[in-house]
């Protein structure tokens, strides 16, 4: 078993849609000899690129789910986690960022830094992921890697420094000058597999010298030896410079910029070298887990293979052979036949087959090292679960999952679709905790909810394709919530006498706002005025009442219910009676507690040419947005705003027509806020008339 952690790289490849991520991955797999022919993403051979294993991705040319794949370059073992590009899949992106140690940020040499890159970059900064930038598509007309490097500095706030310069550009791209080795590199052969190094062409020497100076300046502070060598004006050994770049990259103070063209097979091998030289190995990164036995306090994982196992299941896939679970180990090892414990459920499982994945093909293995990424067969778990061995009870990710902000009603077209739909929903909810589903009892519709319009759209598509479940889709609905703003008392008697045994229960206490958390039940009953066995009935009753608020029918959150008095009847009191009493008590107290409606607020960033800034701000302002700020560079502007989700439906169309299609926007869930009065009145009115109709 290869388990030299220094030679392991867990990397992500992240990019704006259409900047060539999949093509690049494909080339990497080709050069590392994992595949023997190159298929284009939108190739004519109909095979499609190897990484996009899902039908839908092949068709749309985008990658939705993160498949992990393994390859080896020179003596390094590289696990590539293909991260989804769209922010709507936030939890997938975040989970992918969690398991990788470093990343390659791909940019299009023509399009430059686009809004998606900004969001992905922000997430990477949040998770402290060291990265290398790769400017792709340098063969395209209009390619300008220098401009893109400037944008990396300006728009992404990265200390981006070129470690290569191109030899020729656009159609004339021949190769690149490696500023570390100070050599020109060319790629020969039908698929660029033969690398030819030569002296730097005469006309590029001056530029290469000056760019190398910039590089040395940027990294010298990370290596005293390098600084010394520079002061002495001695020749700088290549290894010294590599070492300084590595240190600077790991500290997140520097982003080395490389360039090439995946499509034209130029520069990929050098990128792989850079991944090996500059990106971190698992032990370079500090990873923390939460100790569930100690109130989720943070603990460092050791990366030591001899310690007890800690592994994160970050991805599930339903394959031909059953459920495949991708895990990343942080410390300890997993071998065939080991017993591991799921720290969420406490369930013990025996490890059956272990495989290393390469998109759709797999390779059977006996065990893993620590810091490795592998897939397990036949493990029942949800994604995001942590596996430990015997004595540990750690979790890699917090149990907190953001609540969905948008929902859709779906209706199967026929009986067959009905069966397939429930299969699909069952699967998706396991894979993705932000995707939820339930049946609305009043309308008997199936409701799916998630983090954004696209998020739900993709699942509806997947239902159709993978499960052949055709569904009709309703209009998207914002997931409102209700909460209270004041303390209010209740004292309610539930009494029913309709022949046979009656029902009796009295519940008294108060409601109050709860700042952090959704619901809390406090039992202050003394002297058995409500018998112990009926306390949980009260709790149950309150929870039932919380399911639908009276203002708009939205669920009620952020509330603490305390009961401190009550009474019972020896014969007529029952579980049902006290549940009913609690529901009644809640309905009595709720209106007095000044309930309000809360709506999801999204963090929106609109990016486009400066000339449209006024129009963009106007459009955001009209939609009840609060503009947080603007960022202006020579000819483009980013406007950041907090927007109610309800106002964002159809915004992409508005924005397109306002800016002649030159601006784009991204959106991320931020928080829940109280709906302004006028809007709240409207919502309440609509709910009331809906109720009347039903």
Partner 1 sequence: MGYEPLVQQNPLRVLDTGGENNQMGLVMARPGLGKTALLVQIALDNIFRGKRVIHVSIGESIDKTKSWYDGILQSIIQDYSLSNPQELIDMVTRNRMIMTFKIAAFSRSRLEERLNDLVLQDIFRPNCLIVDGFDFVNADREALEDIRNLMETMNMQAWFSANCRREDTRVSPAGVPAPCHEIDDLFDMIILLKPEQDATIQLDIIRNYGEQVENGKGLRLDPTTMMVKKI
Residues engaged in binding partner 1 (CB under 8 A): 154, 157, 613-614, 617-618, 621, 626-634, 638, 640, 642, 673
Query: Cβ closer to partner 1: 346 or 629?
Result: 629
- Round to whole Å and give the CA distance between 206 and 582: 82
CB of 679 to partner 1, least distance (A): 16
State how beta strands 131-136 and 102-108 pair: parallel
- Cβ at position 627, least distance to partner 1 in Å: 6
Q: With respect to partner 1, which residue has the nearer C-beta, 151 or 449?
A: 151
Q: Output the smallest distance, CB 303 to partner 1, in A.
A: 32
Pick between residue 413 and residue 626 the one whose CB is nearest to partner 1. Answer: 626
Closer residue to partner 1 in complex, CB, 43/614: 614
> Residue 409 Cβ, how far from partner 1 at the closest point, in Å?
33
Q: Give min distance, CB of 616 to partner 1, in A.
A: 10
The answer for residues whose C-beta is within 8 angstroms of residue 354's C-beta and 6 or more apart is: 334, 335, 336, 364, 365, 366, 367, 368, 374, 375, 376, 377
CB nearer to partner 1: pick between 230 and 488: 488
Query: Which residues are within 8 A (CB) of 476 and not within 5 positions of it... i.e. 6 or more apart?
Result: 406, 407, 408, 453, 456, 649
Question: To 10 degrees, the CA torsion angle through 56, 57, 63, 64?
Answer: 10
Nearer to partner 1, 495 or 560 (CB): 560
Q: In whole angstroms, how close is the CB of 596 to partner 1 at the nearest point?
A: 13
- Nearest Cα residue to 597 out of 487, 683, 685, 511: 683
Which two structure tokens, joined as six digits, stand for 245? 């770049």
Rounded CA separation 636/196 (Å): 40
Question: Could you give the maximum distance between any two Cα atoms of the chain, in Å?
Answer: 104
Number of neighbours of residue 665 by Cβ within 10 angstroms: 20
Residue 473 has a CB neighbour count (10 Å cut-off) of 13
Q: What secondary structure, in 3-state letters, does 306-324 show? A: CCCCEEEEEEEEEECCEEE
Residue among 214 and 633 whose Cβ is closer to partner 1: 633
**Of residues 125 and 543, the one with the C-beta less far from partner 1:** 125
Distances in Å between the Cα of 43 and the Cα atoms of 30, 48, 185 are: 16, 6, 28
Six token digits for residue 185: 């590199």
565, two tokens: 């008095």
Least CB distance from residue 620 to partner 1, whole Å?
A: 8
| Least distance (Å) between residue 105 CB and partner 1 | 18
Instruction: Name the minimum Å distance from CB 438 to partner 1.
Output: 30
User: Given the complex with partner 1, which of 66 and 637 has the nearer CB atom?
Assistant: 637
| CA-wise closest residue to 256 among 181, 152, 111 | 152
């Amino acid at each position: 078993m290869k388990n030299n952690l220094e030679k392991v790289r867990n990397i992500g490849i992240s990019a704006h849609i259409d900047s060539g991520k999949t093509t690049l991955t494909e080339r990497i797999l080709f050069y590392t000899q994992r595949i023997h022919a190159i298929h284009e993403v939108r190739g004519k051979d109909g095979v499609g690129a190897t990484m996009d294993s899902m039908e839908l991705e092949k068709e749309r040319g985008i990658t939705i789910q993160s498949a992990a794949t393994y390859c080896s370059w020179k003596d390094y073992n590289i696990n590539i986690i293909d991260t989804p590009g769209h922010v709507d899949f936030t939890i997938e992106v975040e989970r992918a960022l969690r398991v990788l140690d470093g990343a390659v940020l791909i940019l299009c040499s023509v399009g430059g830094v686009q809004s998606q890159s900004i969001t992905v970059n922000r997430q990477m900064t949040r998770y402290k992921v060291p990265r290398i930038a790769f400017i792709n598509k340098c063969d395209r007309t209009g390619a300008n890697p220098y401009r893109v490097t400037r944008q990396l500095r300006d728009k992404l706030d990265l200390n981006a420094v070129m470690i290569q310069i191109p030899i020729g550009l656009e159609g004339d791209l021949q190769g690149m000058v490696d500023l570390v080795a100070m050599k020109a590199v060319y790629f020969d052969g039908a698929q660029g597999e033969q690398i030819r190094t030569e002296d730097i062409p005469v006309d590029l020497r001056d530029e290469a010298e000056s760019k190398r100076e910039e590089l040395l300046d940027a990294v010298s502070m990370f290596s005293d030896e390098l600084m010394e060598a520079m002061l002495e004006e001695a020749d700088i050994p290549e290894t010294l410079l590599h070492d300084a770049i590595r240190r600077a990259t790991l500290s997140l103070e520097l982003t080395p910029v490389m360039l090439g063209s995946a499509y034209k097979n130029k520069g990929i091998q050098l990128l792989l070298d850079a991944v090996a030289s500059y990106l971190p190995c698992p032990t370079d990164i500090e990873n923390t887990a939460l100790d569930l036995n100690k109130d989720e306090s943070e603990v460092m994982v050791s990366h030591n293979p001899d310690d007890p196992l800690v592994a994160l299941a970050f991805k599930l896939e339903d394959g031909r052979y059953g459920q495949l679970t991708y895990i990343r180990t942080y410390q300890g090892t997993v071998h065939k036949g080991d017993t591991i414990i799921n720290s969420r459920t406490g369930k013990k499982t025996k490890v059956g087959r272990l495989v290393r994945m390469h998109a759709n093909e797999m390779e059977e293995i006996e065990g893993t090292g620590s810091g490795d990424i592998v897939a397990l067969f036949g493990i029942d778990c949800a994604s995001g679960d942590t596996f430990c061995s015997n004595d540990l009870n750690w979790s890699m990710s917090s149990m907190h999952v953001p609540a969905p902000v948008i929902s859709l009603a779906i209706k199967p077209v026929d009986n067959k679709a009905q069966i397939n739909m429930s299969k699909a929903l069952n699967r998706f909810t396991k894979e993705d905790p932000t995707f939820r589903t339930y049946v609305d009892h009043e309308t008997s519709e199936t409701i799916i909810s998630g983090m954004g319009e696209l998020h739900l759209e993709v699942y509806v598509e997947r239902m159709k394709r993978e499960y052949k479940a055709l569904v009709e889709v309703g209009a998207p609905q914002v997931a409102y919530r209700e909460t209270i703003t004041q303390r209010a008392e209740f004292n309610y008697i539930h009494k029913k006498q309709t022949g046979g045994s009656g029902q009796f229960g009295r519940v008294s206490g108060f409601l109050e706002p709860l700042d952090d958390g959704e619901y809390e039940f406090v039992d202050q009953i003394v002297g058995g005025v409500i018998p112990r066995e009926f306390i949980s009935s009260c709790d149950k009753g309150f929870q039932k009442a919380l399911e639908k608020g009276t203002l708009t029918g939205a669920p009620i959150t952020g509330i603490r219910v305390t009961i401190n008095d009550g009474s019972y009847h020896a014969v007529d009191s029952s579980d049902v009676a006290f549940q009913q009493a609690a529901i009644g008590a809640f309905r009595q107290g709720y209106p007095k507690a000044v309930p309000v409606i809360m709506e999801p607020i999204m963090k929106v960033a609109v990016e486009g040419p400066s000339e449209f800034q006024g129009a963009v701000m106007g459009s955001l302002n009209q939609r009840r947005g609060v503009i947080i700020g603007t960022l202006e560079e020579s000819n483009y502007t980013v406007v950041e705003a907090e927007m109610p989700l309800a106002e964002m439906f159809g915004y992409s169309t508005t924005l397109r027509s306002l800016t002649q299609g030159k601006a784009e926007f991204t959106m991320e869930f931020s928080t829940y806020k109280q709906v302004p009065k006028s809007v709240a009145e409207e919502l309440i009115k609509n709910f009331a008339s809906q109720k009347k109709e039903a």
